[in-house]
Amino acid sequence: MKIKAPVTKNDRIDVTITDLTYQGMGVAKVDDFPLFIENALPGEKITILVTKVAKSYGFARALSWQSESADRVKDVDKTYRQTGIAPLQHLAYPAQLKFKQHQIAELFKKNHQEVEVAPTLGMDNPTQYRNKAQVPVRMIKGQLETGFYRQHSHDLIPLTDFYIQDPAIDNAIVKVRDLLRQFEIPAYNEISDKGVIRNIMVRRGYYSHEMMIVLISRTQKLPSQAQLVDQIQKALPEVKSIVLNVNAKKTNVIMGNVTRTLYGKPTIEDTLMGLTFAISARSFYQVNPQQTEKLYQMAIDKAGLTGEETVIDAYCGIGTISLALAKHAKQVLGVDVVAEAIEDAKVNAQKNHLANVTFAVAKAETQMAQWQEDGVKPDVVVVDPPRKGLAESLIDSTAEMGPKKVVYVSCNPATLVRDVARFEELGYAIDGPIQPVDQFPQTPHVESVTVLVKK
Annotated catalytic residue, options 411, 430, 446, 451: 411
pLDDT tens track for 189-228: 999 999 999 999 999 999 999 999 999 999 999 999 999 9
pLDDT tens track for 101-128: 999 999 999 999 989 999 999 999 999 9
**35 φ/ψ angles, rounded to the nearest 5 degrees:** -120, 135
3-state secondary structure of 272: strand
Query: Is the pLDDT at 81 greater than 90, yes or no?
Result: no
| Res. 78 pLDDT band, cuts 50 70 90 | confident
Query: Is the pLDDT at 340 greater than 90, yes or no?
Result: no
| Res. 56 pLDDT band, cuts 50 70 90 | very high
Q: What is the pTM of this model?
A: 0.91
From its phi and psi, is residue 442 left (phi > 0), alpha (psi between -120 and 50) or beta? Answer: left
Query: Is the CB of residue 60 less than 8 Å from the CB of residue 75?
Result: no
Query: Is the pLDDT at 140 greater than 60, yes or no?
Result: yes
Q: Where are the beta strands (DSSP E) in 281-329?
A: 310-314
Q: Is 281 exposed, middle or buried (0-12, 13-18, 19+ CB in 10 A)?
A: buried
Query: Is the pLDDT at 2 greater than 70, yes or no?
Result: no
pLDDT tens track for 366-408: 998 899 899 999 999 999 999 999 999 999 999 999 999 999 9
pLDDT of residue 197: 97
411 is catalytic: yes
* C-alpha atoms less than 13 angstroms from C-alpha of 304 in its C-beta half-sphere: 12
pLDDT tens track for 428-454: 999 999 999 999 999 999 999 999 999
Query: Is the CB of residue 417 less than 8 Å from the CB of residue 385?
Result: no
| Domains parsed from the chain with CATH numbers | 12-70 (2.40.50.140), 132-268 (2.40.50.1070), 288-454 (3.40.50.150)
Q: Average pLDDT in the 157-182 region?
A: 97
